[in-house]
Amino acid sequence: MMNALVLQSDFGLEDGAVSAMKGVAHNVSKVIPIFDNTHDIPPFDIWAGSYRLLQTVSYWPKGTVFVSVVDPGVGTNRKSVVVKTKGEQYIVTPDNGTLTHIYEKVGIEAIREIDENVNRLPHSGASHTFHGRDIYAYTGARVAAGVIPFEKVGPELNVSGVIRLPFCEAELIDDAIHGTIDILDVRYGNLWTNISRELFLKLGVSYGNPVEVNILNDSRVIYSNVMTFGKSFAAIHVGEPLVYVNSLDNMAIAINQGSFARAYNIGTGSSWRISIRKR
């Protein structure tokens, strides 16, 4: 049985790097289907790589093998690993924080360190900067094609030792929910928070109700205003802001057909805090 191989990286598509990875994979097996998650992860942004995995894995079949290469530490002693998730999928990646969201939200069944003696593209020994091609794509394709089983990738590691970036859950304190802005819906400039729909609904808010939204960068107030909780953009006029449930079932903030992030110059990460309360 052939499984899909889904690649992501921070390489961009401007040069031949992604093509070389696909060539290596296609050389391993001419019949595994090869797809892209995204290759426009901002350079070295491990958090974004971790998030994009969480955003997508559940839509792919069991058995799918994901290869993620955001690897600022290539050449250090950071480990190269394959994990089997609780969703019965595989992820091949440097163990550098890329597995944070999968660890927290999907769960990891088992993790193995890649033994580079058996899992490295033959004759690729001289370059020490492109493990994405020489190790990750090669190993991912071999697992997807069933050339080697997960169990033969290399020695098993302790799941609790997976490297994780700081990961905060949103909280309901008194009558407000406090969370962070995890990432942008890049193209549209919408803010995606770490506040789940489930937690949000504890505010007792219904579609069409106004809510008060405060956004802080560290302690500085960047935005403070009232907006509608809408089922979709259809609930409001073009140019109006709204709070809505995004495609990952978390709360998001947008300006209908505008860019909220650009309008208020808003970034992402743990210093970007958001609170929402019923009005």
Residues that bind its own copies (CB under 8 A): 2, 4, 6, 8, 10-24, 26-27, 30, 33-40, 43-44, 52, 55-56, 59-61, 64, 72-77, 126-130, 133, 183, 185-188, 197, 230-235, 244-249, 257
Q: Dig out the tokens for 197 from the structure.
A: 């729909």
Q: Which is nearer to its own copies, 233 or 264 (CB)?
A: 233
- State the nearest-atom distance from the C-beta of 191 to its own copies, in Å: 13
- State the nearest-atom distance from the C-beta of 156 to its own copies, in Å: 25
Q: Which is nearer to its own copies, 152 or 262 (CB)?
A: 262
Tell me the C-alpha to C-alpha distance, in Å, between residue 103 and each of 84, 97, 109.
11, 10, 9
Q: Which is nearer to its own copies, 91 or 183 (CB)?
A: 183
Q: Which is nearer to its own copies, 175 or 263 (CB)?
A: 263
- State the nearest-atom distance from the C-beta of 25 to its own copies, in Å: 9
Measure the CA–CA gap between 136 and 117, rounded to whole angstroms: 13
Q: Dig out the tokens for 39 from the structure.
A: 């290759």
- State the nearest-atom distance from the C-beta of 164 to its own copies, in Å: 20
Burial (0-12, 13-18, 19+ Cβ within 10 Å), 258 = middle
User: What residue type is assigned to position 248 of the chain?
Assistant: L
Q: Which is nearer to its own copies, 129 or 224 (CB)?
A: 129
Q: Which is nearer to its own copies, 221 or 234 (CB)?
A: 234
Rounded to the nearest 5 degrees, what angle is found at the Cα of 34, between the Cα atoms of 137 and 74? 20
- State the nearest-atom distance from the C-beta of 185 to its own copies, in Å: 7
- State the nearest-atom distance from the C-beta of 74 to its own copies, in Å: 6
